[in-house]
Homo-oligomer: A and B are copies of this chain.
Amino acid sequence: MAIAREDPKNLDELNRELAQGYMRGLWAREIPERGEPRPFGPPHVWKWEAIHSGLLAAGDLVSLDRFGVRRNIGLVNPGLVEQGAFASATMTMGFQLVKSGETALAHRHTASAIRFIVEGQVGAYTVVNGEKCTMERGDLILTPNWHWHDHHNESERPVIWIDGLDAPMGMALRAGFTEPYHDPKGQPLKSAVDYASRNPGGLSVPGPAPVRLIYKWKETLAALHGINDTNKSPHDGRCLEYRNETYGGHTLRSFTCWIQMLDGGEETLRHRHTTTHLYHVVEGEGSTEAGEKKLAWEKGDCFVIPNWTWHRHRNTDPREPAILFSMNDLPVQQALDLYREERSE
């Protein structure tokens, strides 16, 4: 076959013809010779005062029965307002309020989620596939992919927690399912309360290891204080990953969670990585230089370090430690061999 051309065209004409036939020349895209990831949006801080005020208002205005199953306020990265309105390109971070006496009914979905408790106390709990997990400040509770979960508040005071999900990834893969639990009374309990937490020795019934579902704050805090100087990271201070044997050492299959402590006055070194980190300030105050921005934060605030953005943290209190909880999308980047990091000298 020789290349024969009937009617000469110019490139614009060709582009129009291709578009009509649902095609597009690669030359019509901007593809740099040498490229690196562009952050999906700017670094940003969400102040606790605004989040909290919104939650209180939603507590009055949004009925769990009437408006849907969850009273959740999601953070929206300014760069993603039109593209999904999520906190990052791969993860969501939001705040949920369940008032005294309320129940958020049981359902399950293919999106995997974590809950980090911001305000909670005895009487508040989540049931995950039949395991009752108590919700006290600082606890981390997992509801992996397709696990039933319902939230209960039998205490006198409201419960507030962070919901973190991999929903944007599931949406990108177009593979999401959701299902309500058949019985409005919720799931039957199948194990001891906080089974995974009361079973901290890494011991469990022979056979495939169960998924770990809860990490109590008391133990997390002890572990955090147990990190010696040798094990400090120059970029992240005293930093721990919530590990899950089921997911190869990460918290979940799609994203993972960290808890980190900056000593009084500590300032970390600058680096950047292809992963995105969503932060919540558990204790203390400080600031994070991220790209061109300087994000000042204090207890309750949230902030985001988008992908491939140079950043460093600083605890501005010279004496008290600052504690940060965070989520990042390392596991899926590792599964696709995409993770990279650069460090400043």
Interface residues of A (CB under 8 A from B): 1-5, 8-11, 14, 17-19, 21-27, 31-40, 44, 46-47, 50-51, 54, 56-62, 67-78, 81, 85, 89-90, 94, 99, 107, 109-110, 119, 145-146, 157-158, 166, 168-170, 172-180, 190-192, 195, 197-206, 208-209, 212, 215-216, 219-220, 222-224, 226-228, 230-231, 233, 236, 239-245, 249, 253-254, 258-259, 274-276, 306-308, 329, 332-333, 335-340
- Determine whether the beta carbon of A241 is less than 8 Å from that of B3: no
Report Cα–Cα, A44/B22, bound state, in Å. Answer: 10
Residues of B within 8 A of A191 (CB): 228, 230-231
- Determine whether the beta carbon of B50 is less than 8 Å from that of A94: no
- Determine whether the beta carbon of A34 is less than 8 Å from that of B180: yes
- Determine whether the beta carbon of B173 is less than 8 Å from that of A242: no
Report Cα–Cα, A344/B139, bound state, in Å. Answer: 44
A33-B180 in contact given A85-B24, A222-B198 (Cβ < 8 Å): yes
- Determine whether the beta carbon of A54 is less than 8 Å from that of B222: no
Separation in Å of the A303 CB from the closest CB of chain B?
Answer: 11
Residues of B within 8 A of A337 (CB): 110, 145-146, 253
- Determine whether the beta carbon of B33 is less than 8 Å from that of A230: no
Name the residue on B nearest A224 (C-beta): B203
Q: Besides the contacts A26-B73, A175-B275, what 5 more A-B pairs have beta carbons closer than 8 Å?
A: A4-B56, A5-B57, A174-B308, A205-B239, A254-B336
